[in-house]
Amino acid sequence: MAVSDENLAVQYHNGDEQAFEQLVRRYAATVRSLAVNMLGDGHMADDIVQQVFLRVHRNADKLPEINNFRAWLLTIATNRCLTMIRKRTTKPDPLPMDNVIAGLLAGPDTTITAVERNERVVRLCEALNTLKPEQRATLVLHYQEGLSYAQIAERMDTTVNTIKSRFRRTKERLRQQLKDLYPESIS
């Protein structure tokens, strides 16, 4: 059976560099995806990934106190992303295209043409980029990480009701912008 994250963290605390490596192997993709999804920028995401694991590497003495390593790690990553978004002056780049295309193809309507698809990809990216950082973060945590509203509220240090209403407003906003993209069979 695989060693738990928390046990690995303790092993690293006790001087086992291999344990650190295992943690990085386990979570590099998750943290990077989280950052890419929130920031829409691969380079900035790589910076975040480095910062997050550097923090783990340098804070070995704190690791044994952590009850849920995954939650702790993703909280740090989320907060770093939010800080970076607030400070950045440039507009975010679109998400990696193939990501979004996969998203569109996963919908019920797979018969769209290439031209339509490109247009939709751009539209979806634009729509996502108009969201406030917190709104986008909420979507990412919900859809990438599958977190419940209560868990998101805990991560973002706010109430469940705030998250619920933020979630509704975010979806409403996306819906407004993507109105005509919905498959015709539905509307």
Partner 1 sequence: MNCDEIREQLELNPSTARSPEVEAHLGICPDCRTFESRVAWESALLTATFKTRAVSEAYVDDLLATVRAQTVSRAPGGTQHRFNRWLALAASLVLLFGGYGYLGATGIVPWPWAILGLSGASDSDRGPEHAQPAPVEAIEVIHPQGRWLKPPNDAVYGDMFFKYYQPNPDVDTENEHISRFSADVDTAAYTLLRRYLRDGHLPPKEAIRIEEIVNRFRYEDPLPEKGPVALHVETATSPFSKRRHLLRIAVRAAEPVRPPANITVALDVSGSMALGGRFDLARHAIGRLIENLQPSDRLALVTFGGRTQTVLPLTGIAQRKSIVATLERLAVEPGGTDVTHLAAGLQQASRTALELFDSRRINRVILFSDGMASVQPADAANLARLVAPATSRGVTLTCVGVGIEHYNDYVLEQLANRSEGNYYYLDAKAETDRIFARHLAETLHAVAHDVRFTVDFNPDVVTRFRLLGYESRSVENNEPFSARSDGAEIGAGGTVTAIYEIRMAKDAKPGTLAKIDLHYLKALGGKPIQHQVRYELDRLGGSYKQASRALRLSAAVAWVGDVLRKSHWGKQTNLEELLPLLREAANEYAGDPDVAEFVNMIEKAQRIRASEE
Give me the residue label for tokens 């997050």. Answer: 52
Secondary structure (3-state) at 1 = coil
One residue of 3, 150, 168, 176 binding partner 1 per CB under 8 A: 168
Say how far apart CA 132 and CA 153 lie, in whole Å. 16
Q: Tell me which residue of 34, 147, 27, 47 sits closest to 87, measured CA to CA.
A: 47
The total of other beta-carbon atoms located within 10 Å of residue 174's CB is 18
Least distance CB 68 / partner 1 (angstroms): 8
* 119 counts as binding partner 1 under rule CB under 8 A: no
Q: Closest distance between partner 1 and the C-beta of residue 83, in Å? A: 4
Q: Which two tokens stand for residue 54?
A: 């550097």
| Minimum separation from the CB atom of position 111 to partner 1 (A) | 14
Distance in angstroms (rounded) separating the CA atoms of residues 168 and 161: 11
Count the neighbouring beta carbons within 10 Å of the beta carbon of residue 54: 10
Name residues contacting partner 1, limited to 135-154 (CB under 8 A): 139-140, 143-144, 149, 154
| Rg (the chain; Cα; Å) | 19
CB of 122 to partner 1, least distance (A): 13
Residues that bind partner 1 (CB under 8 A): 15, 17, 21, 24-25, 28-30, 32-33, 36-37, 43, 47, 49-51, 53-55, 57-62, 65-67, 72, 75-76, 79-80, 82-83, 87-90, 95-96, 99-100, 102-108, 124, 128, 139-140, 143-144, 149, 154, 157, 164, 167-168, 171, 174-175, 182-183, 186-187
